[in-house]
Structure 1
């Protein structure tokens, strides 16, 4: 805890004069007695707590009576100029009209401005205006570089055509055969938006940002990116619990024959929410049906020819998306400001929209090496599968006897005998083999054309029984259409599965589902993945063929790169240095957590995962260093503070004590029983605990695991007698409200786990936004040359100039120390958890706000882009 001296400065309004743990009102002695009894019950000896030295460090005064007022003022300082520009744009009565005739768009290289009165085109270097709605189109099969783009400002429409497309059109129309080889787009075909301050709005706008020239610079561009997809998710997004129900109803609606049936089905869908795509948002906010089939032309294009041939309609499609995005923004942004009213929430998500990752000349070599190794592995796996398929056929069919029988029935003696010809006869000869082997019997022996473009079998197929004679604990591994892979369902007489497996059921077999991390109710989609690697290693999952184990090992080794390689994004730069702009949705979940498929999920390098060392290839360019830190077990800390608030003291509960004073030696640290602790705070119940116990001890019976889980929850959570569902759930720090889809009036008591999860994770996002604002204030105040690199949930990384790298470490530490204070203060706990001598370095961030130089443009953005320093 903070020393008494520091506590008085950080919480000047608290009534305490001597204790750093006292609150504004005296703590209830009865609550303290309950707390001590609770801690003693868990054998937590409060007399052996570690005390920190009483540090005296004079601090500048707060900018207001409390630190909450301090952050309110910081948020307003950074957010208000940008919010004023948005409010002015929203106050306009409408947009410049979009021409109905697709022929309006001209195939001119670069930007063209179309006059809002007569539609006359004028070449311009980039769109002009403080607020721009923007959309980019690419041809993924050709490259990630842009093909065309449109933009809408408050005064005009703009269209951009890639110089590559012009060159490709010229080469296609040329009579010279040497000119017919179409060029490929490259870094020179990025889109310029200009050096001026700008707010850019788009749907999944990080994808569009990756195509903008000025973003590939060491110096942050004077541009704020706002994502309508993220704004939608934070206000009306759908939780993972709701999505299956929503998707099910959508399927029913498509099949419903009458309007009455559709109305009845719609009543079952989660209300006040929809999907994240632009078409879904257009329907939800605007009530219009957006035609998206035209997009297939970009997705399928393998050359410039189809784009050139249908240029006008494709450009009109792009412009229609821009207009729809602008109209969706007009609806969703005011809702977002109501849901997240604190200016820090706006500043935090806006700052995250400009993340970047510098790489050096080793990056393309790393990509090439991983791609080459994966290709070799996939080829080897497919060879194994072909060989194993032949072995499987040979287990059942005597080929020579089947061929003889086939010839006798009129087969062509001069051609190789197709499997479809002699297979039926072979099966007749070896029915005894099928009837004695459940694994073989569950295969479909009907010959059908297999659509493959090269020699081999598609190994990434959940219904493909990859490895013959595969067994689980010695029992045949089989696949059920309903319950997927397994080796416990009670078959209902007459069901499809009963009919398929009836003779095995009659022989005493029963279907047991493979274990799943989400519990017994979940189905194992594919046992030949990373999740089941441990079972292959310990012999639980086996195959009689050594090739099967080799194929699985290769598959596991290559799986990470196969699933991530396409998500590494666009790279632009000079010969030795480059920059990646991650495709990050800054509020990609209903808890407002960022979502990105590679960089936010990359774990530490592992020997058995090709490409898992991807993070080590993010390196600072010469003259710069990377500085950052993370919060240890942030969600556990948040939950412990909420529990401790019931007593008015930090460390009053067992979870709070573990966070504050837990030690590994006594088994009371944050990382002891971490999986169960996290499960409890996220609302997971006994079913999850039962599944987890059985997952880690496969010999534990269901009855024993259920008993242990029940005992665990009775002791650590107690017995639930009733549940109070708040009508207006908000985070305690920044006051963000739960999305409409999870409001009590819209979902009742359903989806409770999602609501609990929202409280914890959304509070964590509040702390991240506070941390970003605190860091920006320190950087500005102390004139540190630093730029936000990336945030990873509870981690934050900056690129700092070498001259400032040591000064840059201190703001990171100070910001991490200060940003949790508002949480305790909002819950009436006037203290700050600290470990070791970290409490000595609190809050130089509290320097007077008047020390910040007032920039000419929005405070959300840094100095003007210096293209001479582009990476």
Structure 2
């Protein structure tokens, strides 16, 4: 027997080799069974994993079915019932003010080998209505990068991280995740997980653990070297600079070249402090990151996180006083949490701005349906669905313009000004063209439920469709007078 590695380290023991952490290893051929029977058991376990973990929460949803006399005339369809699910949501359920809900905010997208994973697509708009919404493209990456750009030079794309976010292409291998993957020799999907973890404040040790989780055959030395190389490329190295009002006795330090403009490593800073009989903080200012693609971004995030009263850069939302820096505690203890808070709470500001903008643009012509941290969906009458799609694009423009203006920038790159697409659909699926084929929906939405593919509209298509819709609505209003 060979001991299976636990994801939390060698000190932990694996209780069940068929648990969720190991199911993917069978599909990746890292683990395998001796015969066809074992493979079948594993395949069934993988199919059932989503439903097994979520069926209780799904069945506990509070559904209110409407009576026939409560329905509009166009909704009286023989053989169909109409109702609504009462939301069981905690509005500011986390430290970063994200909403919390156990079913719909954690629902996965439809996967061919996951029973019940078409759950979201089971929410349908009633006759005469559509569901309109969009995902914010690289929301938190853009927030982090534009904070770094404004801090470094006050220009969009001034840092390598900012340039990759604005101009990088997944197909060309020039986006951040592809570049990280190439640099340390891992897959793009794994690089994406590590990149987000790093931006949220995770350190080199955590990255090392993730690498070993992704590839259990990787030894500790290899994982440590890859993590070190990645952090050197992205975060850079931490350096110290002598304070302006401090005099250094250079004759007492032989191997360290003294220069007021020079930066010093942690080792050099400790040595100089020891020679002068002072602490590092007495001789040097706060350490900074330099030499990495994300150094400017981390310097600014740490400035915000380490300030006396940390607030979000967009709407000035303040951090919980329980985590604010103080003289009584070690301020670096919660630094990763505070860095994570700056980015994620900034994303909540972004969402709030979007909701306010949509209410301003659309008035009462729509109904808010659902929002995630980077996604929003509205229920709209078919007469206004393209107008709503255009309003979504304009909302993205206004929201990003507000955010960059708060950071001192006066323009906005076209590549992020509008959504890549706004989905106009009849169901609550991630992509309007997905048929959501799963083991529990083997024939797809179109054949089983008669639900045709929706539309994905970029800004150009949204303008054309909205203009045509407005013309049609004016004609209807004109003829209705007679």
Q: TM-score, normalised by structure 1?
A: 0.36
Note if 1:603 corresponds to 2:185: no
Question: After the TM superposition, which residues 676-695 of structure 1 pair with which residues of structure 2 at under 5 Å, given as runs?
Answer: 676-695=194-213
The answer (yes or no) to whether the contact 1:633–1:670 under 8 Å persists in 2 is no
Q: 1:823–1:524: structure 2 CA closer, same or farther, 3 Å change rule?
A: farther
The CA deviation at 1:514 is: 1.6
Q: Distance in 2 between matches of 1:837 and 1:637?
A: 12
What is aligned with 1:833?
413
The answer (yes or no) to whether the contact 1:787–1:800 under 8 Å persists in 2 is yes
Q: 1:525–1:807: structure 2 CA closer, same or farther, 3 Å change rule?
A: farther
Residue by residue over 1:264-298, the C-alpha shift from the partner in whole angstroms, topping out at 9 and shown as x without a partner, is: xxxxxxxxxxxxxxxxxxxxxxxxxxxxxxxxxxx
The CA deviation at 1:593 is: 0.7
Q: Distance in 2 between matches of 1:639 and 1:583?
A: 31
CA radius of gyration, larger in: 1
Residue by residue over 1:767-800, the C-alpha shift from the partner in whole angstroms, topping out at 9 and shown as x without a partner, is: 00000000001112xxx52000000111010000
Q: Distance in 1 between matches of 2:411 and 2:399?
A: 12
Q: Distance in 1 between matches of 2:102 and 2:90?
A: 10
Q: 1:664–1:559: structure 2 CA closer, same or farther, 3 Å change rule?
A: closer
What is aligned with 1:789?
369
Question: Which SS does the other structure have where 1:720 is aligned?
Answer: strand
Q: 1:535–1:677: structure 2 CA closer, same or farther, 3 Å change rule?
A: closer
Aligned length: 329
Note if 1:748 corresponds to 2:330: yes
Q: Distance in 1 between matches of 2:54 and 2:98?
A: 20
Q: Distance in 1 between matches of 2:417 and 2:140?
A: 23
The CA deviation at 1:657 is: 0.3
Residue by residue over 1:94-127, the C-alpha shift from the partner in whole angstroms, topping out at 9 and shown as x without a partner, is: xxxxxxxxxxxxxxxxxxxxxxxxxxxxxxxxxx
Q: Distance in 1 between matches of 2:417 and 2:408?
A: 25
Q: Distance in 2 between matches of 1:712 and 1:817?
A: 34
What is aligned with 1:727?
308
Q: Distance in 2 between matches of 1:586 and 1:629?
A: 20
What is aligned with 1:514?
5
What is aligned with 2:157?
651
Q: Which moved more, 1:699-708 or 1:667-676?
A: 667-676
Question: After the TM superposition, which residues 157-168 of structure 1 pair with which residues of structure 2 at under 5 Å, given as runs?
Answer: none
Q: CA RMSD in A?
A: 2.7
Residue by residue over 1:516-562, the C-alpha shift from the partner in whole angstroms, topping out at 9 and shown as x without a partner, is: 2x666776564322321132345544556765544443333223223
Question: Which SS does the other structure have where 2:238 is aligned?
Answer: coil
Q: 1:642–1:661: structure 2 CA closer, same or farther, 3 Å change rule?
A: same
The answer (yes or no) to whether the contact 1:519–1:690 under 8 Å persists in 2 is no
Question: After the TM superposition, which residues 267-286 of structure 1 pair with which residues of structure 2 at under 5 Å, given as runs?
Answer: none
Pick one of 772, 775, 794 that aligns with 2:355.
Answer: 772
Pick one of 188, 209, 214 that aligns with 1:696.
Answer: 214
Question: Which SS does the other structure have where 1:712 is aligned?
Answer: helix
Question: Which SS does the other structure have where 1:571 is aligned?
Answer: strand
Question: After the TM superposition, which residues 533-682 of structure 1 pair with which residues of structure 2 at under 5 Å, given as runs?
Answer: 533-538=23-28, 540-542=30-32, 547-568=37-58, 569-574=61-66, 576-646=81-151, 647-669=153-175, 671-672=177-178, 673-682=191-200
What is aligned with 1:95?
none
Q: Distance in 1 between matches of 2:407 and 2:357?
A: 21
Q: Distance in 2 between matches of 1:560 and 1:539?
A: 21
What is aligned with 1:528?
18
Q: Distance in 1 between matches of 2:145 and 2:234?
A: 13
Q: 1:521–1:733: structure 2 CA closer, same or farther, 3 Å change rule?
A: farther
Q: 1:563–1:623: structure 2 CA closer, same or farther, 3 Å change rule?
A: same
Q: 1:798–1:693: structure 2 CA closer, same or farther, 3 Å change rule?
A: same
Question: After the TM superposition, which residues 59-70 of structure 1 pair with which residues of structure 2 at under 5 Å, given as runs?
Answer: none
Q: TM-score, normalised by structure 2?
A: 0.63
Q: 1:747–1:616: structure 2 CA closer, same or farther, 3 Å change rule?
A: farther
Unaligned runs of 5+ in 1: 1-473, 476-486, 488-512, 843-871
The answer (yes or no) to whether the contact 2:369–2:378 under 8 Å persists in 1 is yes
The answer (yes or no) to whether the contact 2:125–2:131 under 8 Å persists in 1 is yes
Q: Distance in 2 between matches of 1:676 and 1:538?
A: 19
